Amino acid sequence: MYTSRITGLGYFVPENIVTNEDLSKLMDTNDEWIQERTGIKERRWIEEGSNETSASMGVKASKIAIERAGLSKDDIDFIVFATLSPDMYFPGCGVQIQEMLDMQTVGALDVRNQCSGFIYALSVADQFIKTGMYKNILVIGSEYHSGGLDVTTRGRGVSVIFGDGAGAAVLSRSEDSSRGILSTHLHSEGKHARELTVESPSIAHWVPELLNNPDDISYFPYMNGTFVFKNAVVRFSEVIMEGLQANNLSVDEIDMLIPHQANLRISQFVQKKFKLRDDQVYNNIQKYGNTTAASIIIALSEAWEEGKVKEGDLVVLAAFGSGFTWASAVIRW
């Protein structure tokens, strides 16, 4: 059986910076209130009138990742695209990537697992490579949140959190079992699905209903923040330990933990619980907000660019979010 290694990384975020002060002009909020609850200082939002989308941002991140992997678009055998904000209800963004990059007619798969979407996508790609079916797989996480947020006081509890952006990784086949993705661990608990959700549009609740009822908020994200937080800190810890134990590793051996950037307070809670130093945990939610399926891959790309992820390092990725779903990946870089 083969091993899969991350051979190329890239990310893209819109140039438009939206600060907490900017949001205070749209809703009843302020910088202190937002930072105290989330740790976020600013986020990137696609500018109104721009042609940027989840797919187009994914393309820009992908081009960087493919180049850094030393490959061309024709070397890619398969595409896995993770997002909760596709350009169209269907088809998914994966096929748009194939078209936009002018690739061969490779397969394309979309993953709809929200905050844990990138790790789920990474796990899918890992299995395809381990079994020998594919050699190089492009894995993307991309989100265009800002166009679907309630930027009024009514929606401030959620809308201040999210940002736009994309990241991409190239997974390649390796015969060196001592390096690469050691294991991935995936979980779900659907009974809590409505605690963090966007209910519409759906086949049961279609767009014309919104036009008839402007007060219908089912088209905006809903989050039971306290409940999500309490579950997140438990599941984060569980799935990190699951990954370590599966590989006979200890917390002390972690060189870099990259958690999904949902809330800085969650990351700090987990860091404190595992007694990790600041240099062992990478956070960038302060400047990008929560980019959902893109957050881990953007953070991993940045950490690598800054020299904080080095050859031989033990890197742990962990995520928790809507579904509820949660996941981890243990990687020997």
Catalytic sites, residue numbers: 115, 260, 290
Closest CA to 279 of 299, 257, 304: 257
One-letter amino acid at 80 equals: V
Across 126-146, b (16+ Cβ under 10 Å) vs e yields bebbbeeebbbbbbbbbbbbb
Compute the distance between CA of residue 304 and CA of residue 135 in angstroms, rounded to an integer.
23
Closest CA to 33 of 41, 25, 22: 41
Say how many CA atoms lie within 13 Å of 193 toward its Cβ: 6
φ, ψ for residue 96 (rounded to 5)?
Answer: -65, -35
Strand partners, 37: none
Closest CA to 296 of 101, 188, 143: 143
Compute the distance between CA of residue 318 and CA of residue 235 in angstroms, rounded to an integer.
9
Compute the distance between CA of residue 220 and CA of residue 293 in angstroms, rounded to an integer.
18
